[in-house]
Amino acid sequence: MEGRIDNLKFSKFYRLIAPNEMDIDKEEIFYREKYNDIINYLKIVLTNDEESVVQSYNKFIRPKGAILIKVNPGTDIVDYLKLISKNFYLNFFELNHEEIVKAPDEFVSNFIDIVESIIERTQKDIDDETKNNEKSRSDEHDPGQSKIKGLLVIDKKNFSSINLNGNNLLELFMVSYKNRASLVKAGIILIWINNTMKEIKKSSQLIFDVFDLFIKVPTLDKIERETIFRAFSEKNPKIVFDIKTLVDYTATWEIKDLIQLLKIGIFKHFLNSELNELSNEITDGLINLIESGEYIPTTSETERNIENSDSNFYKSNEFSNKNSMNGRNIESKNIYAQKLSSEIKEERFTDFMLNQLYENAASKNYTELVLIIDKLNKNEHLEEIERKMLAKYAFIFNDSPNMAQINLEKAKKRIDNLKRAFGEY
């Protein structure tokens, strides 16, 4: 009886969405490589009960029924999880942001009880279903029937704006659940979504006591942002904008940021009747929204760290008035260089594209690049002319110096073979 009272008391802090109530269009989801890890995990947990787990691996594969995901705000990951729930006919549980904001202290102080009430609710549904099945067919189990009935998504975004009074709810959850039986047995899968690494790193030793997997979804790269803009453009051919320019302006932005920017840009453009009669070109308007700060994207953790370290640096006592301008310039350049280096290393190329880039480099500056890569491998100083040449072939930074040397030599051999084939040697 007490459990039922608690369920009623805490039910305001979460929503239950039945599979037939979810209105998610799969065409609106931007599928990423890491999303495969999520769906593959869920398939295993949903299909592998004790009776069906491959015996050869059962000492390794014993799903707890929980995964931890690090992803930037502004993604469509929750919509993706709702689509999965709909397809697998699972009840979808999510935290109710509106009620959390109204009673933050009550939410924080009862957080574990709230999670437990959701689990108990699912367990009760399974128990009731089992009793009904026993009445109709005693001691008979349908192996095709999944025991999992619900998907619980705890998205930190729903309580990131409230004062947690120093509490780390992720750590609290892991400490509370590290010794408990598998959530799978309770008929539920739990997915915890965090937007920063701070809390995760603080309790990293506990992660795999509670979660089966820790999945990091990377920020959209240039190619992915271009794909999103191009898809929008193809669906809305009357709206014209410079895709390449917008890709350059939106580093670290996520899909919902990009789509929302376009929607606001279109709306503002058509507020000006004189302008929209002349052209549907909205690039300048979009850039103005970004530069003026009239559209604020969800800020990535990387940017926040840069801003915080930058701010702390300028506020420190070591930063004197005498060298303030020089120090600020050096710090700004270092930050820019770190961001640029990170972008280059995160840039993803297909094998074909990479081969083309190396062949182009080998055909023009093979000898010089061999010497430069050798210097990089030995950590030797590069001359200014060498640094300028390396900047022309920044893709080399995607590989270690040894691998870059190998790729360059292979490219040179391919070029030489082509020249021989056409009688140029």
Residues 161 and 251 in one domain: no
The 10s digit of each residue's pLDDT in 46-105 is: 876 545 554 456 667 778 999 999 999 999 999 999 999 999 999 999 999 999 999 999
Tell me what pLDDT residue 315 has. 43
Q: What is the mean pLDDT of the chain?
A: 80
CA distances from 210 to 59, 213, 328 (A): 17, 9, 44
The C-alpha atoms of residue 31 and residue 28 are separated, in whole angstroms, by 9
**pTM above 0.75?**
no
Buried b (16+ CB within 10 A) or exposed e, 134-162: eeeeeeeeeeeebbbbbbbbbbbbbbeee
Residue 311: band (very low, low, confident or very high) from pLDDT cuts 50, 70, 90: very low
The C-alpha atoms of residue 137 and residue 131 are separated, in whole angstroms, by 10
With both helix axes pointing from N to C terminus, report the angle between 301-315 and 324-346 in degrees, rounded to the nearest 10. 160
pLDDT at 160 over 80: yes
Residue 125: band (very low, low, confident or very high) from pLDDT cuts 50, 70, 90: confident
Residue 327: band (very low, low, confident or very high) from pLDDT cuts 50, 70, 90: very low
- For the ranges 38-52, 108-122, 321-335, the lowest mean pLDDT is seen at 321-335
Residues 240 and 94 in one domain: no
pLDDT at 379 over 90: no
Residue 350 or 291, more confident: 291
Residue 320: band (very low, low, confident or very high) from pLDDT cuts 50, 70, 90: very low
Look up the CATH number of the domain holding residue 84. 3.40.50.300
Q: Are 110 and 172 in contact (CB under 8 A)?
A: no
Residues 171 and 76 in one domain: yes
Tell me what pLDDT residue 124 has. 82
Tell me what pLDDT residue 7 has. 67
Residues 119 and 229 in one domain: no
Tell me what pLDDT residue 27 has. 87
Tell me what pLDDT residue 144 has. 47
pLDDT at 366 over 60: yes
The 10s digit of each residue's pLDDT in 247-283 is: 999 999 999 999 999 999 999 888 875 555 556 688 9
Residues 375 and 248 in one domain: no
Tell me what pLDDT residue 162 has. 86
The C-alpha atoms of residue 378 and residue 402 are separated, in whole angstroms, by 10
The C-alpha atoms of residue 88 and residue 141 are separated, in whole angstroms, by 19
Q: Which residues contact 119 (CB under 8 A, 6 or more apart)?
A: 152, 183, 186, 188
Residue 106 or 328, more confident: 106
Residues 230 and 283 in one domain: yes
The 10s digit of each residue's pLDDT in 341-365 is: 555 444 455 666 777 888 888 888 8
Q: Which domain holds residue 406?
A: 349-425
The C-alpha atoms of residue 396 and residue 399 are separated, in whole angstroms, by 6
Residues 237 and 161 in one domain: no
Residues 388 and 325 in one domain: no
Handedness of CA 56, 60, 65, 69 (dihedral sign): negative
Residues 340 and 358 in one domain: no
- For the ranges 18-32, 83-97, 199-213, 264-278, the lowest mean pLDDT is seen at 264-278
Tell me what pLDDT residue 349 has. 55
Residues 239 and 253 in one domain: yes
Residues 304 and 327 in one domain: yes
Total domains in the chain come to: 4
- Dihedral, 100, 101, 103, 105 alpha carbons, nearest 10: 90
- Report the pLDDT averaged over residues 135-145: 52
Residues 353 and 341 in one domain: no
Residue 28 or 48, more confident: 28
Residue 361 or 133, more confident: 361
The C-alpha atoms of residue 152 and residue 108 are separated, in whole angstroms, by 18
Tell me what pLDDT residue 41 has. 92
Tell me what pLDDT residue 421 has. 67
pLDDT at 133 over 90: no
Residue type, 237: P
